Amino acid sequence: MKTCLFYLTCIVLMVVSALGHECERTCVKGDTRTCMYEFHMQEYHSMGRACFDCPRNMSDCSRPECIAADGVSRPLLAVNRQLPGPGIQVCEGDRVVVDVYNGQLSDSATIHWHGQYMVNQQYNDGVPYITQCPILGAFRYDFVAAQAGTAFWHSHTGLHRSEGVFGAFVVRQAEDPQEVLYDIDSFSGVLVLQDWDHINSYDKFVGRYHSTLDDFARGILVNGKGVNTDAQVAYDMPREIIEVTPGHRHRLRLINAGRLNCPIIVSIDHHQMTVISADGKDIVPTTVDSLVLYSGERFDVTIHANKGVGNYWMRLNGLVDCEQHSCYQGAIIRYSTASEEDPEEPLFYNPNYPPGIVLNPLNSVDGEGQLIMTDLEALESHIVLPAVDKKFYIVFDFNQINNTLFFNPELYPFNAVAEMWQANTPQVNDISFALPSAPPLSQPEALKESICRYGEDPPCVSDYCTCTYTMEVALGETVEMIIIDEGNIGDENHPFHLHGYSFSVVAMGKLGRNTTLADVIALDEAGGIVRKLESPVLKDTVTVPDGGFTIIRFTADNPGYWLMHCHLIFHSELGMSALLHVGEQSDLPPVPEGFPTCGNYLPSL
């Protein structure tokens, strides 16, 4: 019965996806709708039978339910047999109802709406064991799309996002303050970027932490498409094509849904980009030659199709974990009257920024021609209050400890194994975040068993400390978070993401190849850190430079339990996370009727 229902739904979905969803429309003031979606999640395969003779017959690669990717056949996890999963494009104020059907053989799921703050609809944030129980069968998300801008959705369970469970979530406005800057904001101008691999993430994760496998990516995809750049012999595959109308200014919405540490440099041959929005929030337009997106970030840009009619490369070059295998990709900016062919210029890996201005460079805060987040201005002017009620120091780093998830301190401790076996543990303030046994939002008593609080001694006896690390804030307090990456190991960075809020990015700095909490505090006390309090950019995800810091501020006006974490999936799943608890249980809307419950069953003997 379940299978029959599934296929019937699929046929309906195919028809719907060919026509476009009824909510995908020009937004008109006063016209808000209820937008219904069905998400069917299932283990699936790229280059499966739906792909027929792809890539020999190139048009077969675009058949419904064919996930061609870069032509490599591998298992994955998909929603509605699509990669990326179905995009949701609605208007501000629409009610979004998504029924998630978990068709996996043995795993649970949740969906997080990255970029929606869920004010008064906290039960929809989609974090397992924090805002809801994991979905075993089916679950309905039902919320108002309250934040306009470019966002995305993804599973927040295990490695799902890494396996393909993500998609665009775009909220347009009837009256967009940036409207004068572009002529066309098409539904197809949404570009979901991701790093890509040729094995599944579970093999990768287990291989990385229980054996000696690397954690490097093997490619980059744009809207699930691209050429295999890791192959000995390259063969053609369909690329993403962005059609532009000569003479017109187009709005493109870029999303990095990536999983490993693969910051992506985006540039377009012979065209500058004007950045108009960061993480869905309007900014004073800033023209650049290239920009970097870290996992979880979004930037909206406009490009002016005012060059010679033709085809131009949009180049995507990966950094850090995308460097070892020289991961790059090309999408095509095609003028509508141009011939259907690839651009003539050679396409190759280049980890250097193209000449000109780069926005958001990796681990650099003051290079020539470089703009960082504190150089941007929010479009709507605002002043950040000079005083804060609560200040938190959040130190990200890899620690060389006996994480009992991979080491046995009695049998094979960290220091007794060869270097190739010494997997480091990503932590926050020397603690590995542990999920409680039930979501505190609806079952607050569950938190008591595992909670440890910021500023208190954690209840740990060994060098591996794990608990539900929580920062407590009263409703309405102003908060400053000084996020530091000590950078002791490697030359990585961490993209920090906070649920439930956008925050002002007031400072960003780098002290050296590595640093310490004490050094950052000393620098700050000596007046060495200037905070930008006039119209700083508002974001929900921001990079923290290696050996440096990023300082954010916000008013804690959204009560609830909000996860904050590194957005790199191996890091967050290993506990580079913490919980922000704002307000009291009485500040929350009532638990929805029939909301599922969960918990451990360990009765006393």
Residues contacting residue 257 through CB under 8 Å, at least 6 positions apart: 84, 152, 154, 161, 166, 192, 193, 194, 295
Which range in 5-13, 186-194, 458-466, 487-495 contacts Cu ion by CB under 5 A?
487-495
* In the complex, minimum distance from the CB of residue 436 to Cu ion, in angstroms, rounded to a whole number: 22
Helix residue spans in 130-259 (DSSP H): 160-163, 201-210
Which range in 12-20, 129-137, 220-228, 562-570 contacts Cu ion by CB under 5 A?
562-570
**Cα angle vertex 233, ends 255, 268, to 5°?**
35
Nearest by Cα to 421 from 432, 411, 431:
411
Which range in 346-354, 428-436, 486-494, 595-603 contacts Cu ion by CB under 5 A?
486-494
Residue type, 405: L
* In the complex, minimum distance from the CB of residue 293 to Cu ion, in angstroms, rounded to a whole number: 16
Which range in 82-90, 488-496, 536-544, 593-601 contacts Cu ion by CB under 5 A?
488-496
Residue 155's beta-bridge partner residues?
Answer: 111
According to DSSP, the β-strands at 290-293 and 451-453 are unpaired
Residue 332's beta-bridge partner residues?
Answer: 241, 313
Measured CA to CA in angstroms, residue 319 lies from 241, 258, 293, 369 at distances of 23, 12, 10, 19
* In the complex, minimum distance from the CB of residue 566 to Cu ion, in angstroms, rounded to a whole number: 3
If one asks whether residue 499 binds Cu ion (CB under 5 A), the answer comes out as no
Which range in 3-11, 101-109, 338-346, 558-566 contacts Cu ion by CB under 5 A?
558-566
Residues contacting residue 4 through CB under 8 Å, at least 6 positions apart: none
Output 172 or 494, the one with its CB closest to Cu ion. 494
Output 122 or 541, the one with its CB closest to Cu ion. 541
Name which position in 566, 569, 578, 579 contacts Cu ion (CB under 5 A).
566
| The dihedral sign for the CA sequence 114, 116, 122, 123 | negative
* In the complex, minimum distance from the CB of residue 492 to Cu ion, in angstroms, rounded to a whole number: 7
Phi and psi at residue 566, in whole multiples of 5°? -70, 135
Output 315 or 571, the one with its CB closest to Cu ion. 571
Residue type, 589: P
Residues numbered 262 to 291 that lie near Cu ion (CB under 5 A) are none
Which range in 57-65, 306-314, 555-563, 565-573 contacts Cu ion by CB under 5 A?
565-573
* In the complex, minimum distance from the CB of residue 166 to Cu ion, in angstroms, rounded to a whole number: 18
| The dihedral sign for the CA sequence 488, 493, 498, 503 | positive
Size of interface with Cu ion, in residues (CB under 5 A): 4
Q: Left (φ > 0), alpha (ψ -120 to 50) or beta: where does 356 sit?
A: left
Give CA–CA dist 483/524, Å, rounded.
13
- Per-residue interface string for the shown chain with Cu ion, residues 417-456, x marking contact by CB under 5 A: ----------------------------------------
Q: What DSSP designation does 386 have?
A: S
* In the complex, minimum distance from the CB of residue 426 to Cu ion, in angstroms, rounded to a whole number: 5
Output 239 or 510, the one with its CB closest to Cu ion. 510
* In the complex, minimum distance from the CB of residue 577 to Cu ion, in angstroms, rounded to a whole number: 10
* In the complex, minimum distance from the CB of residue 251 to Cu ion, in angstroms, rounded to a whole number: 31
Which range in 52-60, 105-113, 227-235, 494-502 contacts Cu ion by CB under 5 A?
494-502
- Per-residue interface string for the shown chain with Cu ion, residues 325-364, x marking contact by CB under 5 A: ----------------------------------------
Q: What DSSP designation does 420 have?
A: G
Phi and psi at residue 209, in whole multiples of 5°? -100, -20
123, 129 Cβ separation under 8 angstroms:
no
* In the complex, minimum distance from the CB of residue 394 to Cu ion, in angstroms, rounded to a whole number: 12
291, 263 Cβ separation under 8 angstroms:
no
* In the complex, minimum distance from the CB of residue 63 to Cu ion, in angstroms, rounded to a whole number: 37
- Per-residue interface string for the shown chain with Cu ion, residues 569-598, x marking contact by CB under 5 A: --x---------------------------
Q: Provide the 10 A C-beta neighbour count for residue 56.
A: 9
If one asks whether residue 568 binds Cu ion (CB under 5 A), the answer comes out as yes
* In the complex, minimum distance from the CB of residue 568 to Cu ion, in angstroms, rounded to a whole number: 4
* In the complex, minimum distance from the CB of residue 570 to Cu ion, in angstroms, rounded to a whole number: 8
If one asks whether residue 494 binds Cu ion (CB under 5 A), the answer comes out as yes
* In the complex, minimum distance from the CB of residue 324 to Cu ion, in angstroms, rounded to a whole number: 17
Give CA–CA dist 318/265, Å, rounded.
6
If one asks whether residue 563 binds Cu ion (CB under 5 A), the answer comes out as no
Give CA–CA dist 313/84, Å, rounded.
21
Output 497 or 532, the one with its CB closest to Cu ion. 497
Residue 294's beta-bridge partner residues?
Answer: none
If one asks whether residue 394 binds Cu ion (CB under 5 A), the answer comes out as no
Output 176 or 540, the one with its CB closest to Cu ion. 540
Biggest CA-to-CA distance, the chain: 79
Output 160 or 315, the one with its CB closest to Cu ion. 160
Which range in 178-186, 243-251, 468-476, 566-574 contacts Cu ion by CB under 5 A?
566-574
Give CA–CA dist 99/124, Å, rounded.
12
Q: Which helix (H) or strand (E) holds 573?
A: helix 569-573
Which range in 9-17, 534-542, 568-576, 584-592 contacts Cu ion by CB under 5 A?
568-576
Whose structure tokens read 């699509």? 82
Output 148 or 431, the one with its CB closest to Cu ion. 431
Give CA–CA dist 326/231, Å, rounded.
11
Q: Provide the 10 A C-beta neighbour count for residue 81.
A: 20
Whose structure tokens read 């064919």? 66
Output 240 or 397, the one with its CB closest to Cu ion. 397
According to DSSP, the β-strands at 494-498 and 541-544 are antiparallel
Which range in 32-40, 506-514, 525-533, 560-568 contacts Cu ion by CB under 5 A?
560-568
Output 40 or 567, the one with its CB closest to Cu ion. 567
Q: Where on the chain is the footprint of Cu ion (CB under 5 A)?
A: 494, 566, 568, 571
